[in-house]
Amino acid sequence: MINEAKLLKRYGSPLYVYNRLLLMERCNNVKLFASTLKSDLPEITISMHYSTKANNNVAILSVVESMGLNVDAMSPFELEVAQRAGFSTDRILYVCNNISSSEMNLIHSKGVLICLDSVSQVETYGKLFPGSKIMVRINPGTEGVGHSEKVKTSGKATKFGISEANLPQLLDIAQKYELCIIGIHQHLGSLFLNETVDDYITGVQAGLDIIKKYFQNIEIVDLGGGFGVPYQSTESPLNLLNVAETLVPILKKFVADYPSVKEFKFEPGRYIPCESGSIYGTVTAIKYENGIYWICTDIGMNVLVRPAMYDSYHDIQLIYLSEGEHKQVTANFCGNICESGDILGKDRVVGLPEVGDIVIVKNAGAYGYSMASNYTGRPKPAEVMINSDNHPELIRRAENLDSMLRPFGKLLPLPKMGNFLK
Ligand SMILES: Cc1ncc(COP(=O)(O)O)c(C=O)c1O
């Protein structure tokens, strides 16, 4: 059994906590999805690339690597961590957006396949490395999928991908620099569940039609991520096998019509680490103001930004260290950041805790730590992995005053009273 209070005492509050077994189980589900497709498309490679942006902890990536999945990186940091986790170059795809020429140089020097997402970026790359092999990201034009407008990445309003109208120009630029477009990528957005899988399938079909119409000799078709998880108790888990079975006839038809294709890639991010991660924190104040109970915690929007940024729902549980009755109330949970939007959850019916009790935010393993910040000068928390023997392993140290002040270097005058950096 995990002792939450002991963990917080040892590693500090708040704290990200991951469950290795659940993480492995989700990797297995993704592998099963791939093998379902493979059994109907035996000639085709099915590659599952974990999208590092969901959680870039090297320990998480090591688990994903050991489970035999591939990986997507979208920044030099993500690439470095993926390589250190053991991914060889041929298992990494660099899916980027609006990068500088120096970043292109770095990726090229590492020999990693790059996926570019505008005609302008393809031209910059072509000037630097004429004759190279690249992938390009298209915008299939269908409405994106996602839990918020902010994560929909297809359709008229998105900054991502090359829309159909600009494909002739893309082909001209590619020809000018003798670039060989070996793969086409699309990503429709983040989080579809069983009820919204049709939107994903519609987008897949639209993308495949565009490939047939405009491109010749494409070898790789990357159909992106977006595989969702239920955050609310009313939602049911995504039936991945059902998604695979729905895709089979569509992909089979495509392969029959378009024989150069050798590989389908998918890029699940959230699906893999989300449910394995929680944030443990501490109740720091209780308020009753204007008819509203506020359960105030040290889990600020710098630790988990999803509720503030997307109005996302996360299940919140309490562990009572305090004794006595806990009167049932409807309360809002909030963090410790000086911002009105710093709210973790609204109108939750709970037993009223006391200061010092423990709060647990569920399903925080994806887009949690990787979107955490130092807003208002607060350090990012530690991350701990609970291994199969139930032993906690520190997988990223907490930041502290020292580590946050260090980047100022010599600019930082020593404090007048004593040297607190020592
Ligand atoms: C290009 C690309 N691929 C894959 C993903 C992973 O998406 P998800 O975490 O919804 O699976 C993202 C995230 O938005 C992305 O931008």
Ligand 1 within 6 A of CB of 247: no
418, pLDDT greater than 60: no
90: CA distance to ligand 1 center in Å? Answer: 20
Please give the pLDDT value at position 316: 98
Q: pLDDT-based confidence at 419, cuts 50/70/90?
A: low
CA–CA dist 323, 362 (Å, integer): 24
- On whether the CB atoms of residues 352 and 329 are closer than 8 A, the answer is yes
Section 359-370 average pLDDT = 98
| Coil/strand/helix, residue 102 | helix
- Give the range among 145-154, 244-253, 353-362 with minimum mean pLDDT: 145-154
Ligand 1 within 6 A of CB of 273: no
274: CA distance to ligand 1 center in Å? Answer: 13
CA–CA dist 301, 309 (Å, integer): 9
174: CA distance to ligand 1 center in Å? Answer: 26
243, pLDDT greater than 60: yes
CA–CA dist 215, 186 (Å, integer): 14
Section 247-272 average pLDDT = 98
Best residue among 47, 51, 309 to mutate for probing ligand 1's pocket (most ligand atoms within 8 Å of CB) is 51
Ligand 1 within 6 A of CB of 222: no
269: CA distance to ligand 1 center in Å? Answer: 6
Instruction: Indicate which atom in ligand 1 lies nearest the CA of residue 185.
Output: 1
Summarised one tens digit per residue, pLDDT across range 188-235 is: 999 999 999 999 999 999 999 999 999 999 999 999 999 999 999 999
Ligand 1 within 6 A of CB of 51: yes
- In order, the DSSP letters of 335-365 are -SSSSTT-EEEEEEEEE---TT-EEEE-S-S
Ligand 1 within 6 A of CB of 190: yes
Best residue among 114, 121, 267, 312 to mutate for probing ligand 1's pocket (most ligand atoms within 8 Å of CB) is 267
Neighbours of 92 (CB within 10 A): 23
Ligand 1 within 6 A of CB of 191: yes
Best residue among 56, 137, 184, 190 to mutate for probing ligand 1's pocket (most ligand atoms within 8 Å of CB) is 190
50: CA distance to ligand 1 center in Å? Answer: 9
Summarised one tens digit per residue, pLDDT across range 146-189 is: 888 888 899 888 999 999 999 999 999 999 999 999 999 999 99
The more confident residue out of 132 and 158 is 132
Please give the pLDDT value at position 412: 85
Delineate the domains of the chain, giving CATH numbers in brackets.
Answer: 4-14+275-406 (2.40.37.10), 41-272 (3.20.20.10)
Instruction: Indicate which atom in ligand 1 lies nearest the CA of residue 270.
Output: 9
Q: How high is the mean pLDDT of the chain?
A: 96
Summarised one tens digit per residue, pLDDT across range 384-413 is: 999 989 999 999 999 999 999 999 998 988
Burial 212-246 (b: 16+ CB within 10 A, else e): eebbeebbbbbbbbbbbbbbeeeeeebebeebbee
Percent of the chain with pLDDT over 90: 92
Please give the pLDDT value at position 421: 54
Instruction: Indicate which atom in ligand 1 lies nearest the CA of residue 226.
Output: 10
CA–CA dist 192, 240 (Å, integer): 11
Summarised one tens digit per residue, pLDDT across range 14-70 is: 999 999 999 999 999 999 999 999 999 999 999 999 999 999 999 999 999 999 999
145, pLDDT greater than 90: no
3-state helix, strand, coil in the chain (%, to 5): 35, 25, 40
309: CA distance to ligand 1 center in Å? Answer: 17
Q: pLDDT-based confidence at 414, cuts 50/70/90?
A: confident
58: CA distance to ligand 1 center in Å? Answer: 18
Section 105-123 average pLDDT = 98
Whether this model's pTM surpasses 0.75: yes
Q: Which residue, judged by its Cα, is nearest atom 4 of ligand 1? A: 225
420, pLDDT greater than 70: no
Please give the pLDDT value at position 162: 97
130: CA distance to ligand 1 center in Å? Answer: 29
- On whether the CB atoms of residues 186 and 203 are closer than 8 A, the answer is yes
